Structure 1
């Protein structure tokens, strides 16, 4: 095993350290979204045998795909910023056009279906808050799309973060300061749960993901600047140990803490608050090992990654109204089998690729 790690380390030294993440960025996003889709599904492995427990653990930790997304987003934004040097106005325009039209389209479908088959939403103020994209922060409504509120927050603060990041000579010290602020706020929110229950601690699902975004931004800076002063951050031994430690901590939390406590105190997200870099880096190395022998798998993941935003929205719709009990109960059909969930995943992937292809052609047509 140590020989394998040694060989990988020597291979990594032959190229720039952060090139792995850049080279397989879309494939990493493909892994992340498929992991999230798997997590949201109702696939059940039972409770007999080690393999069953292992598969269940992988499924129940699928929300770590969100951490990968935040890291890769921070990486991509910083690399793109230093390449293009856009104005703040142009940056916001690009981000707005990338996220909001698609969000509004699928949100509209969601609202129509929820009014037909679920609990009708008749309050126009609530609907307006949904369309702002920040409903999760404003009134804790539309929690199904909380990720949109979170990523919009990251886009909103990124130009200001980059400005101070650029001015600081010691980039790592500045990043540690920002991450410490996030951790301090998270601890305060966790402590508030003992007094106010879930009144403020619901924000932990976002606050504990911000370090992944900021750390990704640092790695993006290292990539674009070819800064060799941070080479110690890319030791495979360090990342294997840290990822293993984070998963062990997460397994202990699952074993000793109830589901309610894990949500209320943010215990789901604390272990990988700093571990997103290690997890993403190791996955990028794994993808590189598949490059020569399993290129078809990389092509598949790359394609999924390119349509990850579409798959995020579509799978939520499919799972809520096809894979769950809403429509099935409405028509008196009993859902819930693994075959049904696998079919729902397959349909979601196919539809997302079709939708992404349509958008790509429209972009070319109106460019």
Structure 2
């Protein structure tokens, strides 16, 4: 019994010792294993969110101690750097990884120069313009230089006036995209036969290559198959105002306004009337006035306005009648009929006017014959 009991106690002690040793070795091993590093891991080929690190979760790497951000012809890749990853030059940036946050949070901006017309005429949203900036805090920059647009990651020396419409610095990923300046005019730009009718061709309106705040669209046509459209600010433009052809140019100041065809239907606007209708209106108007006579004050008579408008001034009338009487034959009885309070009819007034005019003419002829008036 004593032997068996001693053997059992010894066995228990041995098992406990082995367990404690194993536990200690496990703890030591756990303390010696380094923590796993974290990096952003994505590709813009799979998701455009890879361009904006603020939208990405950090993920643990298996063995890496560095993170990378790589640009491969516009495709942005972020991940854990290992021996099988090629990373060199300006198109790939490395950083020391840590277990808390991902260090490959480089900002992405668009990069192009004035030598590329698409940099000015498009929003530069194409992947080929993607560029990796130095840090996450680097801003994006877009500017007009020599009438051309340039885009890139901003440098410390770049500065823009707050009120400037031709310079802009912005934070955030891909923030220097879009037509710039946004107010620049859009025109149709083409030449020769493919430009004759833009409604049936593939010609699309786009911003001018050069930026000019007072730019205009133009159209120059020699025939229905030889038409040129563009911007007055274009290099070598025939409608810039300094060439002989500019006098034949049609120019305008609104977007897409140079869209006319060589020939088009002319819509004429004419005044439409006839003499018959005009006379009817005048007679109706006169009848209305006669129906409601308006009293006109005269020195010696009271007449409706329609009658009074045909009368001569009273002194002239008296002189004319007197001169007429002087020229009448002596055997004709001379009578002066008072016209006060009389309203003669229209025909009588017209006859009176003719008589007066004839009388004045007779007096003039008599004076000329008597030598009182010079002849020409």
- Range class of TM-score, shorter chain: under 0.3
Choose 1 or 2 for highest CA Rg. 2
When normalised by structure 1's length, the TM-score is: 0.19
Whichever structure has more strand as a proportion of its residues is: 2
TM-score by length of 2: 0.19
